[in-house]
Amino acid sequence: MKLDGDNLKIVLQKQGRLAQLCRELLRSAGLDFEYHEGRLFSPCQNFPLDILFLRDDDIPEYVQDGVADLGVVGLNVVQEKAAQVIQLDALGFGTCTLSIAVPRKSSISSVYDLEGKRIATSHPHIVEVFLDQRKVKARIIQISGSVEITPSLDVADAICDLVSTGSTLRSNELEPIEVVLKSEAFLIANAQSLKDPKRRELIDRLRMRFQSNLRARCTKYVMMNAPKTALEEIKTILPGMKSPTVVPLAEDEMVAIHSAVPEELFWDVIEKLRKTGASDILVVPIENMVTG
């Protein structure tokens, strides 16, 4: 099986915290492909796309060098590699922070207390830039794994590592003192691919699928019955699409109203709708949401 030179190429993480989420994103965008552990390449059956599965550290360089047109990788990896790629879209998953943490009993309480100290990290470039911007001189110790154990071994005075829930820090008697970078999965692109009309068209088609799915994830579809007299008030409450759908009911004084509501406003909106007399409120998830 060979790569098709005319197909768009996207590279995903083959293992790790983003791997399954990346595959789910592609499948939710309607892409049909085979995958099994250990596979490094898979052609898409219903879209001109070839999918490569690589180590996350290699993804920015493959995209930068034009081996792949697109990649999905954490922003922390892009910045650590200082890759010359175009950051297209934040994808809403894989969120974490790259944070400086110190032992709980440490006298270090701010980044400026790190002057002359030792910092262990697997992100030396990002940490160096961060400290330079604050004119703090510290010794950066590059560690490829198990960064959190270095203070207890007296290898470092502080660490800079990825934090999701904070449980690893707590179990190692560490506490964060500074956020260096807020990271999440990003869709990145090769600059030359974006300039090629044919490849740009395919990229735009693929991005439209991704974006419609991402919008749907943070939106709820709400259906309710309400008195006609409350319709205008309900229209002002609903923050969703341009105008809600209004359907007459057998009972003349009542209407059915359908609308999309952003998830972060959902419960506030529901409470306000109930006060207008809306009833039988039904909420369903949205699989995809194409706008414009």
| Chain-centroid distance, C-alpha 46 | 25
Q: Give dist(CA 167, CA 185) in Å, integer.
A: 21
Q: Give dist(CA 74, CA 60) in Å, integer.
A: 10
The predicted pLDDT at position 4 comes to 56
Looking at domain 96-183, does it have CATH number 3.90.25.10?
Answer: no
Count of beta carbons in the 10 Å neighbourhood of residue 89: 15
Same topology, domains 8-93+185-216 and 219-285? Answer is no
User: How far is the first Cα of the chain from the last one, in angstroms, to the nearest whole number?
Assistant: 39
The predicted pLDDT at position 291 comes to 66
Tens digit of each residue's pLDDT, the chain (292 residues): 455 578 999 999 998 888 999 999 999 889 999 888 777 889 999 999 999 999 989 999 999 999 999 999 999 999 999 999 999 999 989 999 999 999 999 999 999 999 999 999 999 999 999 999 999 999 999 998 889 999 999 999 999 999 988 888 999 999 999 999 999 999 999 999 999 999 999 999 999 999 888 888 778 888 899 999 988 888 888 875 567 888 888 888 899 999 888 887 888 888 988 999 888 888 887 777 776 5
As its CATH architecture, domain 219-285 has: 2-Layer Sandwich (3.30)
The predicted pLDDT at position 221 comes to 86
Looking at domain 8-93+185-216, does it have CATH number 3.90.226.10?
Answer: no
The predicted pLDDT at position 259 comes to 86
pTM of the predicted structure, to 2 decimals: 0.80
The predicted pLDDT at position 187 comes to 97
Strand order in the sheet with 49-54: 41-43, 49-54, 8-13, 70-74, 185-189, 86-90
Q: Where are the domains of the chain?
A: 8-93+185-216, 96-183, 219-285
The predicted pLDDT at position 242 comes to 65
The predicted pLDDT at position 157 comes to 94
The predicted pLDDT at position 16 comes to 82
